[in-house]
Structure 1
Amino acid sequence: MGIRTIIVLPYDAQWKQDFTAIKAELQEALDGLALRIEHVGSTSVPGLSAKPIIDIDVVIRDESMLEAVIAALGRIGYRHEGNYGIAGREAFGYEGKEHLRDHHLYVCPLDSPELKRHIAFRDYLRSHPEAVHEYSRVKEEGAELYPHDIDRYIEHKSPFIEGIYRKIGI
């Protein structure tokens, strides 16, 4: 696979349109199985620097929906990859999506703590421009310091994220 370089770019308004295109494809395939499809992660926050990968949470009523969702997503090229050790969040990989921006797809039941964290963090940043500025700085610095080490990059930005979680009571 080779060495991957961590690239953090300034906010790009195109990310919102990229999410909309992915969401439309997902909605058609899921045909009512999802309660909603949320744009989460850094690309969902105007003004925030980010790796140009769209993070998406498909919200389902509960775990009983998962099997039907896995089948529906499988029909359009997504494969279920399990929860990667994070309860309440099922990850999906994909092939044949060259027409869409790179993205991470997760399926979360409505009562998922991980979903709650994603939404609360996003919404906090959307309403706190000073936090957006600081988080952009931290992420850009991490990408510069650790351009080929995703674990160290994540470790670098973790204190900022944990600080926001404390502020919002998560």
Structure 2
Amino acid sequence: MTTVEIVGGPEALEITLHDYDPRWPDVFVEHRNRIREALAPSVVEIEHIGSTSVPGLAAKPIVDIVVAVDDITAEEDYLEPLIAVGYELRVREPGHRLVRTPARDVHVHLYERGAAAIDEYLLLRDHLRRDADDCALYERTKRSLLTRRWDDMNDYADAKTDVITAVKERARAARTE
């Protein structure tokens, strides 16, 4: 049985999409530097992921970052330093932790180095950056989901799964061409 701890419980929120903001990469760089400094001397991999990492794509104004750490179970090595520089723990589950800013405008996903989830995030990001048709499809899907009320961000994310899976299948196929 998989145990997922959502710190603070489900949160009702209004999901809005914003046109692409060219400041999002700068927000990523600011947080990448903060994370790198907090976790020094450990060498961690830090990548900008999610819709805010795709130029031109409308997105929720939340910058998503993925960080690869050596041992996800050694929370003292990364969680305590991140909390000390202002992030808050939101999700703890096997193989994954999520911390975020108090303003909820930056989400930092932590995985163990080599985790398949990291490759999946990067596969989607890189494909959407290259493929205008799939990028447009993904944006249309997100816009259509805005017509519904979401009691929790996780439910909204789950509703995009079929489209994301199809896009990633095309991305894998494009790699072999």
For the superposition of Structure 1 and Structure 2, which TM-score range results when normalised by the shorter chain? 0.7 to 0.9
Structure-2 residue corresponding to 1:106? 109
Structure 1 residue 89 and structure 2 residue 91: aligned? no
The ranges of structure 1 where at least 4 consecutive aligned residues each deviate by more than 6 angstroms after the TM superposition are none
Structure 1 residue 56 and structure 2 residue 65: aligned? yes
Range with greater deviation from structure 2 (124-133 or 67-76): 67-76
Structure-2 residue corresponding to 1:126? 129
Show CA shifts across 1:28-79 (max 9, x none). Answer: 1111324221111110011111101011111123446543112221221334
Structure-1 residue corresponding to 2:170? 167
Q: State the AA in 2 paired with 1:91.
A: L
Range with greater deviation from structure 2 (67-76 or 12-21): 67-76
Q: How does 1:2-81 map to 2 (within 5 A)?
A: 3-63=12-72, 66-81=75-90
Q: State the AA in 2 paired with 1:30.
A: L
Q: State the AA in 2 paired with 1:92.
A: V
Unaligned runs of 5+ in 1: none
Deviation at 1:94, TM superposition (A): 4.3
User: Would the aligned equivalents of 2:18 and 2:61 in 1 still touch at CA under 8 Å?
Assistant: yes
The 1:63/1:166 distance shift into structure 2, 3 A limit, reads: same
Q: State the AA in 2 paired with 1:135.
A: Y
Show CA shifts across 1:100-153 (max 9, x none). Answer: x7111111112111111111111111111111111111111211x114444664
User: Would the aligned equivalents of 1:7 and 1:147 in 2 still touch at CA under 8 Å?
Assistant: no
Structure-2 residue corresponding to 1:117? 120
User: Would the aligned equivalents of 2:53 and 2:125 in 1 still touch at CA under 8 Å?
Assistant: yes
Range with greater deviation from structure 2 (112-121 or 153-162): 153-162
TM-score (normalizing by structure 1): 0.81
User: Would the aligned equivalents of 2:38 and 2:82 in 1 still touch at CA under 8 Å?
Assistant: yes
Alignment partners' CA distance in 2, 1:65 and 1:46:
35
The 1:147/1:30 distance shift into structure 2, 3 A limit, reads: same
How many residue pairs end up in the alignment?
163
Alignment partners' CA distance in 2, 1:155 and 1:65:
28
Percent identity, aligned pairs only?
28
